[in-house]
Amino acid sequence: MVSEAPKKSTVTVRIAGEEHVLRSSADPEYTRACAAFLDQRIREIREMSGLVEGHRAVILAALAMTDRYFETREELDRLRKEVASRSTNLARRIEEELGDS
């Protein structure tokens, strides 16, 4: 049996003052939320830096979001290692307690 490709929907969003028509298999509300988030970051960068050129603000927004993504990924990796370590220690302590019984 051949699996069906995810159904794609068309969503119109506004980013940096321009309208974009996007096709995505993601939920349309999710796509709109992503576009709104990006648009907000671009507006913030334009306000903070005084940039008028849209493409430069988009690049700076993308870099800021990429930086946050990498920071979050590193934090997630650290937390995974911490959970694994604590789980190992807890399992060892349980085995020790059960062995003493």
- The model's pLDDT over 82-98, given as tens digits with 9 standing for 90+, comes to 999 999 999 999 999 99
Q: Which residue has the tokens 């507006």?
A: 43
> Is the pTM here over 0.85, yes or no?
no
- The model's pLDDT over 16-64, given as tens digits with 9 standing for 90+, comes to 999 999 999 999 999 999 999 999 999 999 998 887 677 889 999 999 9
Q: What does the alpha-carbon distance between residue 13 and residue 41 come to, in Å, rounded to a whole number? A: 15
**Identity of residue 83:** V
Q: What does the alpha-carbon distance between residue 61 and residue 41 come to, in Å, rounded to a whole number? A: 6
